[in-house]
Amino acid sequence: MIYDVIIIGAGPAGLSAAIYSARGGLKTAIFEKAIVGGQINVTEEVENYPGFEDSISGFELTAKMRAQAERFGAEFVEEEITAIGLDGLCKVIETPEGKHRAKSLIICTGAHPRRLNVPGEERLTGRGVSYCATCDGALYRDKAVAVIGGGDSAVEEALFLTRFVKKVYLIHRRDELRAQKIIQERAFKNPKIEFIWDTVVQEFHGDKRLEKLELVNRKTHEISMLEMEAAFVYVGILPNNELLESRIELDDAGFVYTNENMHTNVPGIYAAGDIRHTVLRQVVTATSDGAVAAWSAEKWIIENYDDFGAEGAHQ
Ligand code: NAP
């Protein structure tokens, strides 16, 4: 049995690709090693996905996408892919359960939070150092917490945390935020957020749990200690590209290059969503990428498989 399309990763990009591919009549499997929904699952309120004027939680949004993909016949497979290979035109993926073959592949493996890589960070992760305010924020009700970073994630999560906590120290390495202006303005107006500019964390201190952040001012080189039970790190994202074979072309940061049809440099292999080299990483751009990738994969299969339909759902 050969699938028309195998999609790797069930975040918004993969789910959208599955909806388009399955609805188009292609035999479609979507592989996810963890939880369907991807990174957006832990976002409390998605305010800018069109159609939900009162916002929707990331979890609810992706649950709806999954139901939609299933309605059109996409097959969800909970297996971890350990290798990707080629057998002529055919793509072969390996999991602990065995091998699966597909005419085309859509890579939607997404990204994960960047670590600061400073002493104490790894040891105290889950003990005060966190990468998920939605998961852990409520544990620090009426306490002061730190957020590290100056992008959309840091500022949005700082705003989210003000719902529970007494105070948020937002620690940023420059004196200007990277976040969108509308989000910045909300943060500047929020009396619970105090900004610590031009500053980086150089060590997390604590015995069993986080107790102190050792900070250094990048302009004055002054070192200070900030007593804190929780620090939420939001300093960007890194691509989940471990699986990608060496012949898939990546940018310097490890994101996949595609053309406007989401085609990678390998015939019949597409990429969509956060794993892609792109200017904007949003749910709406991920779902759009997924749709284009599925459409392109179908065109590619028609052009390259004389027996299109013989083994897939088109028979
Ligand atoms: P990001 O935009 O790359 O911002 C990362 C932030 O962390 C930057 O302010 C950066 O500082 C800082 N940083 C990086 N490395 C650091 C280090 N070693 N030490 C201290 N600070 C460091 O990442 P993000 O905020 O996670 O966002 C990722 C993508 O998702 C972006 O495209 C963003 O627009 C998108 N996003 C959108 C929304 C939304 O629209 N609602 C919400 C969340 C995320 P510099 O500014 O000095 O480089």
Mutation to probe ligand 1, out of 114, 131, 134, 153 (largest number of atoms < 8 A from CB): 153
Q: Name the nearest CA neighbour of 282 among 51, 61, 41, 49.
A: 49
Q: How many CA atoms lie within 13 A of 113 on its CB side?
A: 21
Catalytic residue check, 132: yes
Catalytic residue among 90, 132, 152, 198: 132
Instruction: Give how far the C-alpha of residue 199 lies from the chain's centroid of Cα atoms, to the nearest Å.
Output: 26
Distance (Å) from CA 158 to ligand 1 centroid: 13
Fold of the domain built from segment(s) 2-112+237-304? FAD/NAD(P)-binding domain (3.50.50)
Distance (Å) from CA 228 to ligand 1 centroid: 22
Distance (Å) from CA 170 to ligand 1 centroid: 13
Q: Which residue's CA is the closest to the ligand 1 atom numbered 28?
A: 236
List, by residue range, all CATH 3.50.50.60 domains of the chain.
2-112+237-304, 115-233
Catalytic residue among 4, 108, 136, 274: 136
- Please say whether the beta carbons of 293 and 286 come within 8 A: no
Q: Which residue's CA is the closest to the ligand 1 atom numbered 14?
A: 235
Q: Which residue's CA is the closest to the ligand 1 atom numbered 31?
A: 281
Q: What is the DSSP string of 18-62?
A: HHHHHHTT--EEEE-SS-TTGGGGG-S-B-SSTT-TT-B-HHHHH
Give me the pLDDT at residue 311, please: 46
Can you point out the beta strands (E) in the chain?
Answer: 2-8, 28-31, 75-77, 83-87, 90-95, 98-107, 111-113, 129-130, 144-148, 167-171, 193-196, 199-205, 212-217, 223-227, 231-233, 237-239, 269-271
Question: What's the whole-model pTM score?
Answer: 0.82
- Please say whether the beta carbons of 282 and 300 come within 8 A: no
Distance (Å) from CA 304 to ligand 1 centroid: 40
Q: Which DSSP letter does residue 197 get? A: T
Query: How far is CA 233 from each of CA 74, 131, 187, 293, rounded to the nearest angstrom?
Result: 36, 5, 17, 32
Give me the pLDDT at residue 308, please: 58
Give me the pLDDT at residue 264, please: 97
CA pair distance 123, 206, nearest whole angstrom: 9
Give me the pLDDT at residue 307, please: 64
Residue 289: partners with Cβ closer than 8 Å, 6 or more residues away = 13, 16, 262, 271, 272, 273, 276, 278
Catalytic residue check, 90: no
Distance (Å) from CA 281 to ligand 1 centroid: 11
Token pair recorded at residue 224: 């200070």
Distance (Å) from CA 259 to ligand 1 centroid: 25
Catalytic residue among 54, 87, 108, 135: 135
Phi, psi angle pair for 284, to nearest 5°? -65, -35
Measuring from each residue's beta carbon to the nearest atom of ligand 1, which residues come in under 6 Å?
A: 48, 116, 149-154, 156, 173-174, 178, 200, 234-237, 280-282
> What number does the ligand 1 atom closest to the CA of 235 have?
7
Q: Which amino acid type is present at position 276?
A: R
Query: How far is CA 192 from each of CA 120, 159, 168, 221, 234, rounded to the nearest angstrom?
Result: 27, 9, 6, 27, 18
| Superfamily of domain 115-233, CATH level 4 | FAD/NAD(P)-binding domain (3.50.50.60)
Distance from the first to the final alpha carbon of the chain: 12
Q: Name the nearest CA neighbour of 16 among 40, 33, 43, 34.
A: 40
Catalytic residue check, 135: yes
Give me the pLDDT at residue 45, please: 80
Mutation to probe ligand 1, out of 152, 181, 282 (largest number of atoms < 8 A from CB): 152
pLDDT in tens, the chain (315 residues): 899 999 999 999 999 999 999 999 999 999 999 899 998 887 878 888 999 999 899 999 999 999 999 999 999 999 999 999 999 999 999 999 999 999 999 999 999 999 999 999 999 998 999 998 988 888 899 999 999 999 999 999 999 999 999 999 999 999 999 999 999 999 999 999 999 999 999 999 999 999 999 999 999 999 999 999 999 999 999 999 999 878 899 999 999 999 999 999 999 999 999 999 998 888 999 999 999 999 999 999 999 997 655 444 443
Q: Exposed/middle/buried for 98, CB within 10 Å: 0-12, 13-18, 19+?
A: exposed
